[in-house]
Amino acid sequence: MINTIQELLRTSLELKGYPQPDKVMVARTKQESFGNYSTTLAMELSKTLKRPPLEVAQEIVSALPTNPAITKVEIIAPGFINFFLSPQFLQKVVAEINQAGANYGRSTVGKGQRVQVEFVSANPTGPLTVGHGRQAVLGDTIARILSWCGYQVEREYYYNDAGRQTRVLGHSVYYRYRQLLGYSEEFPEDYYQGDYIKEIAKKIKDEYGARFANDADNPIFKQAAEEAIFADIRKTLARLDIVFDSYYNEKSLYDDGRVNAVLRRFAELGVSYERDGAIWFRAGQYGGTADRVLWKSVVDEATYRLPDIAYHTTKFERGYDLIIDIFGADHHATYPDVLAGLRALGYDVSRIKVLIHQFVTLTQGGEKVKMSTRRATYVTLDELIDEVGKDVVRYFFLMRGMKSHLNFDLQLAKTEGEENPVFYLQYAHARIASILRKAQHLQIALTAEPDLSLLNEPETLALLNALTEFSEVIAICLNTLEPQHLTVYLTKLATSFHKFYTEHRVISDNLPLSQARLALVKAVQIVMANGLHLLGVAAPEKM
């Protein structure tokens, strides 16, 4: 409907000889008394036309073509133009939803374009934490929305198995292994200290005894740790219904020569130079913040920017139409340098969309729960799932925009009543399922062509209006890659349903009205289920 109203407004502007803006903004109103849609077009044009906004609004409305879906157009000071939809238009959505079913709201806007979504990408140095969980759920939900809108989506997990952190991981296991063998040396403070390190060390001791007691650099320690931790990571992600299509490890970039190839190409292009025992990249000339070190000759090791640039060249070579990288806030200052490196190499970085999410604070009884991977005072994602369940974890991670810091309230998350926001939605879906079961028991069939004109009470029209918004919200989520718009919408839909349900009996002695209302609540159930599916949250039949 937004597109229709935009076209009506453009026609009016053409008829009045007014300038056409690049985009005509039309949005849903926040109050029903102001209609269903509103535009600020008159206020925007008043500056160009040098006339009062109310006068411009009246001129625009006077030239608007009629449309059967719109019953009234109203002007509100200082120049809003509000559109009221007809009950007949709103009522039609019920049939559309029930006919489309599980496919309602889908689109083909993506036209099969290939999209890679990279997320989580945590190094295999320990269990996934609550912080990793937010990124995991964000990435998977964005991938679901893209697939829903016709894109061909591939989820990828990139991990570092070639740097200092994994060396420290291997040595951490070695020290615990030595302790299990009876050696009393002190465990280094900056090594990984979780119980999982002890468990890995014990397996090595049980299988090999003291064979590696004096062989700290034996690859068995690092390899055993990576394999055990990655198996744990995969298992944790699966608990959240997150499965990756591919895993890409950093070490392969060195093995196949891609890292060295980037260094050589930079030298050929004259965008790198040597200074103070290091190779520097002139990142500032290509959109970065300043020159950056790529290789430290003293330790003969790359900084993380270099392999990241090499890794992204593989994404272009693999032919993705769109590349989406999801990072935590700690990457805010580094990803511009990676993009700068790709620009220097001649790649079209407009095909890359970088999403930065803020951190998570887990609170318990008003107290902050501290998290530190090495100190092992963190809360693992597994523990959080055990505590509140998969659905609550996913939904709570999506309730706030990714640009906002997220406070994960454990007390609210463990609440089992309707004050828990995810249960509030699930109760709506389950309540409708109960109504439909009752109708089936009473042998009241859902008819293919109910008399939808009977759906005309204020609460009913408000619910119909909420249903018509679903596709618009999906479009917003797609354009912004911000899934929280869907959580806000589903809460609005559930609230509208509960108001309707409180005021009106769905099943009554009036058979035509009962059938019309059953069709309506079935439509609500479909939209609720489709929305929850996109969030990765279950839509239960019973609670």
Contact 187, 179 (CB under 8 A): yes
What are the pLDDT digits (tens) for 150-177?
Answer: 999 999 999 987 677 888 999 999 999 9
Average pLDDT over residues 66-71: 96
Query: Residue 296, Cα to own-chain centre: how many angstroms?
Result: 36
Average pLDDT over residues 46-55: 94
Question: What whole-number distance in Å separates Cα of residue 473 and Cα of residue 482?
Answer: 10
What are the pLDDT digits (tens) for 500-512?
Answer: 999 999 999 999 9
Per-residue pLDDT band at 371 (split at 50, 70, 90): low
pLDDT (0 to 100) of residue 362: 87
Cα angle 232, 237, 242 (rounded to 5 degrees) comes to 150
pLDDT (0 to 100) of residue 185: 84
Question: Using CB atoms within 10 A of its CB, is residue 166 exposed (0-12), middle (13-18) or buried (19+)?
Answer: buried
- Give, as one character, the DSSP assignment of residue 380: B
Is the per-residue pLDDT at 7 higher than 90? yes
Q: Are strands 114-118 and 152-159 parallel, antiparallel or unpaired?
A: parallel
Question: What whole-number distance in Å separates Cα of residue 367 and Cα of residue 364?
Answer: 5
Cα angle 358, 362, 367 (rounded to 5 degrees) comes to 130
Per-residue pLDDT band at 14 (split at 50, 70, 90): very high
Query: Where in the chain do CATH 3.40.50.620 domains reside?
Result: 106-268+312-414
- Percentage of the chain exceeding pLDDT 70: 98
| C-alpha torsion 536→362→330→482, nearest 10 | 30
Average pLDDT over residues 363-377: 65
pLDDT (0 to 100) of residue 8: 97
Is the per-residue pLDDT at 331 higher than 90? no
Task: For 30-85, give the DSSP string.
Answer: SSGGG-SEEE-HHHHHHHHHTS-HHHHHHHHHHTPPP-TTEEEEEEETTTEEEEEE
What is the 3-state secondary structure of 507-538? Answer: CCCCHHHHHHHHHHHHHHHHHHHHHHHHHCCC
> What are the angstrom distances between the C-alpha of 284 and each of 181, 259, 309?
52, 21, 15
Question: What whole-number distance in Å separates Cα of residue 468 and Cα of residue 527?
Answer: 10
Question: What whole-number distance in Å separates Cα of residue 489 and Cα of residue 64?
Answer: 30
What are the pLDDT digits (tens) for 235-267?
Answer: 999 999 999 999 999 999 999 999 999 999 999
Per-residue pLDDT band at 378 (split at 50, 70, 90): low
CATH class of 418-535: mainly alpha
Top-confidence residue, 103 or 124: 103
Number of Cβ within 10 Å of residue 392's Cβ equals 24
Per-residue pLDDT band at 302 (split at 50, 70, 90): confident
CATH class of 2-85: alpha beta
> What are the angstrom distances between the C-alpha of 38 and each of 24, 31, 88, 462, 493?
11, 11, 20, 16, 20
pLDDT (0 to 100) of residue 20: 94
Hey, is 361 helix, strand or coil? Answer: strand
What are the pLDDT digits (tens) for 445-483?
Answer: 888 899 999 999 999 999 999 999 999 999 999 999 999
Per-residue pLDDT band at 374 (split at 50, 70, 90): very low
Cβ-proximal residues to 257 (8 Å cutoff; 6+ apart), any chain:
none
pLDDT (0 to 100) of residue 369: 72
Contact 480, 420 (CB under 8 A): no
Question: What whole-number distance in Å separates Cα of residue 456 and Cα of residue 453?
Answer: 7
Question: What whole-number distance in Å separates Cα of residue 184 and Cα of residue 376?
Answer: 21
Is the per-residue pLDDT at 43 higher than 50? yes
pLDDT (0 to 100) of residue 125: 87
Query: Where in the chain do CATH 1.10.730.10 domains reside?
Result: 418-535
Question: Using CB atoms within 10 A of its CB, is residue 202 exposed (0-12), middle (13-18) or buried (19+)?
Answer: middle
Question: What whole-number distance in Å separates Cα of residue 152 and Cα of residue 76?
Answer: 44
Hey, is 324 helix, strand or coil? Answer: strand
pLDDT (0 to 100) of residue 377: 58
Comparing CA positions, the residue from 5, 25, 3, 18 lying closest to residue 65 is: 5
Per-residue pLDDT band at 232 (split at 50, 70, 90): very high
Query: Where in the chain do CATH 3.30.1360.70 domains reside?
Result: 2-85
Question: Using CB atoms within 10 A of its CB, is residue 73 exposed (0-12), middle (13-18) or buried (19+)?
Answer: buried
Is the per-residue pLDDT at 42 higher than 60? yes
Comparing CA positions, the residue from 358, 448, 373, 396 lying closest to residue 129 is: 373
What is this structure's pTM? 0.92
Average pLDDT over residues 285-301: 85
Average pLDDT over residues 202-225: 95
Which residue do the tokens 């100190």 mark? 375
Sign (positive/negative) of CA torsion 174, 179, 180, 181? Answer: positive
**In CATH terms, is domain 106-268+312-414 a member of 3.40.50.620?**
yes
H or E element at residue 364: strand 360-364
What are the pLDDT digits (tens) for 107-119?
Answer: 999 999 999 999 9
Contact 530, 524 (CB under 8 A): no
pLDDT (0 to 100) of residue 298: 59
Contact 116, 321 (CB under 8 A): no
Lowest mean pLDDT segment, chosen from 63-67, 331-335, 345-349, 401-405: 331-335
pLDDT (0 to 100) of residue 330: 85
pLDDT (0 to 100) of residue 182: 94
